[in-house]
Amino acid sequence: MDARMQRSRDRLAEAILRLAPTREVGRIPVAELAREAGVHRSTVYEHAESPAGLLRLVLRGELDEARRTHLAEIEPSGAAAAIRGVTLAVLEHVERHDEVYRRALGSHDEAALHAMLSAHFRESTLQLFEHGAVVPPVPEGERDVVARFLADGWVGAIDAWLQTPAPRDRERLLELSDAFLPAWWPRA
């Protein structure tokens, strides 16, 4: 991406992160997003199909960075620490965007944000399986079923956790996860 496009994307990202906590992202007009970012309306469509799509793109970028930081080149002996690190990074990300996630995860209108967060957990889990850092007791062809189950469970747990009053205890959520994660899952 050239420098001008990157500047536009950065401005749009900042704008959508300012606007999304104020209302359902599906109700943010493209014209308002463009005005807030200081770009032409057509520029919005060069980066995403809608304000909701832009929000998912921005949040997904942050989540992908957390995965790259914590799960790159993972060895089985370091799986528990890496999983703890990436999970804490995801919880920090979710809390940083508290209003967006609290509104979206419980809403049918914003099911795509639920799916985006679930896809992040699924891809991270499959990466752990692929690298042999975590080995589920199922045939390789069924690992996606396990990954989806774990991913959607995590999103549900995060949704419930976000409904509790701030400040929230990330460490406590990790402790609680021991109750719902399978026995073969690495613990820190």
Its pTM stands at 0.92
The structure tokens 């528990």 sit at 80
pLDDT tens digits, 106-158: 665 567 889 999 999 999 999 999 999 999 999 999 999 999 999 999 999 99
Locus of tokens 């200081």: 38
Q: Which residue has the tokens 């995590």?
A: 154
Residue 103 binned pLDDT confidence (cut-offs 50, 70, 90): confident
Judge contact between 121 and 154, C-beta under 8 A.
yes
pLDDT at 107: 62
Mean model confidence pLDDT for the chain? 93
Check whether 188 has a pLDDT greater than 80.
no
Task: Identify the band that residue 55 occupies on the pLDDT scale cut at 50, 70 and 90.
Answer: very high
Q: What pLDDT score does 74 carry?
A: 85
- At 105, is the pLDDT very low, low, confident or very high (cuts 50, 70, 90)? confident
Predicted pLDDT at 64: 97
Q: Which of 12, 20, 162 is nearest to 92 (CA)?
A: 162
**59-83 per-position pLDDT tens digit:** 999 999 999 999 988 888 999 999 9
d(CA 159, CA 111): 12
